[in-house]
Amino acid sequence: SNAMTDAAIAEKDLGNAAYKQKDFEKAHVHYDKAIELDPSNITFYNNKAAVYFEEKKFAECVQFCEKAVEVGRETRADYKLIAKAMSRAGNAFQKQNDLSLAVQWFHRSLSEFRDPELVKKVKELEK
């Protein structure tokens, strides 16, 4: 690993600590810094999406989920991390009562990784 990567991971860890304390503003600052230092890490985009989700800023959440998927594809990231971004986008649409888009994203997520919990959830939603 190089110094930039290490610094990016350190920023992510600070972001995670802020997120756990529900200091979302501070979490964003650290995740933004992490992205600036290492724009190729899907986790930083996933983490920012999570903060937006908690803030109920669902459009921004989806935007960062899409960015996470894009970066994940480019860098051949772990398919579970790509699936996570897709299911979070689905959750954001579900929160906005857009169930058809939610289900679309959940299916995309399941095609990356068959999470048994998500399989159950989608079956419920499709009833």
Domains of the chain: 3-126 (1.25.40.10)
Cα–Cα distances in Å, from 123 out to 1, 60, 90, 106? 42, 27, 14, 11
Reading the block at residue 19, the tokens are 């997120």
> Residue 1 pLDDT more than 80?
no
Reading the block at residue 38, the tokens are 């290492």
Residue type, 89: A
Instruction: Evaluate whether 53 touches 61 at the Cβ level (below 8 Å).
Output: yes
pLDDT digits (tens, 9 = 90+) for 71-117: 999 999 999 999 999 999 999 999 999 999 999 999 999 999 999 99
